[in-house]
Structure 1
Amino acid sequence: MNIHILLILVVLTGAQLQAQSIERQIIGSTGASFDNGTIALDFTVGETAITTLKGDTFNLTQGFHQSTYTILTIDPDTPTIFSMYPNPTSGLVFIDGEGILETEIYSITGQKVYKTNTTRFDLTHLSSGVYIARILTTTRSITKRIVKE
């Protein structure tokens, strides 16, 4: 008798199942979407909740825009061999390396204070402190800390 009731319950429960789908949508107080053919920008203000659910085959994040993406290849990070000396410096700085196009020096607050396209430059006009050197090469941009005494 119990088997018959259990069988009837399983059949009736299976008949009531419906498939669900999760649409990509965001609910917020305001927001917009812009697309110029090259870049797409979506933003939302006032999202009420942020949560992330992860499984073996999915990653569902509520509260942030999620786009579809495909990883084509991952190139190994090829090291760029160069040296910047002396560091710390009292003024004159040398950079040795291949493919160096220009060097920009930024203050710790992010303000650009010096720019040069030579591999030898003078920082005596700058006050003592910590600066960020951004070295642009033919293949990448490298950021290093430089101390001016």
Structure 2
Amino acid sequence: MKTRFSLLLLAFGMISSLAAQTLERQVIGAAGMHATAGNLILSMTVGETATSTLEAGSFVLTQGFQQPDVTTASSIDPQTLVDWKLYPNPATAHITLELSMAQAFEFTSQVVDLAGRSMGIEHPISGADGHCLTEYPIGHLAEGVYLLLIQDLDGTPLQAIRFEKIH
């Protein structure tokens, strides 16, 4: 009897361990969203810790504890990105992007909401000497959080910079 019970227990243990071999990322939160627009994926939860990961090597931007596996291919060498600044943040009437690279560059940029919808604010960004200062009018936007997307000329996302519009 003990042998059968032991074998039965062993069989159940082996069966239950088979299901434990997959690891899925899950977040338990009060509210959140996941949206896809073209080749852009946005995912957020309410109440996540405000931490940030910015990398120039693969152009990864992460906020909070959601850390996706992202790979992007670009014709721009990621090591050439030297510095970017977006100010003021939060902003009321306009935001200014200051971009510096080790070489001349040409990009496109646009402001999108968190669902990935374009807000109609699009600008080319170019710097023959490796530096560029671009101003974006945002006074007409509703209060909220938006992203400034910087893309290669072929549409490959290079950087997503989060900013807040107030009043």
Q: How does the TM-score come out when normalised to structure 1?
A: 0.44
Between 1 and 2, higher relative CO (CA 8 Å, sep ≥ 6) is seen in 2
Structure showing the higher strand proportion among its residues = 2
Larger radius of gyration: 1
Q: How does the TM-score come out when normalised to structure 2?
A: 0.40
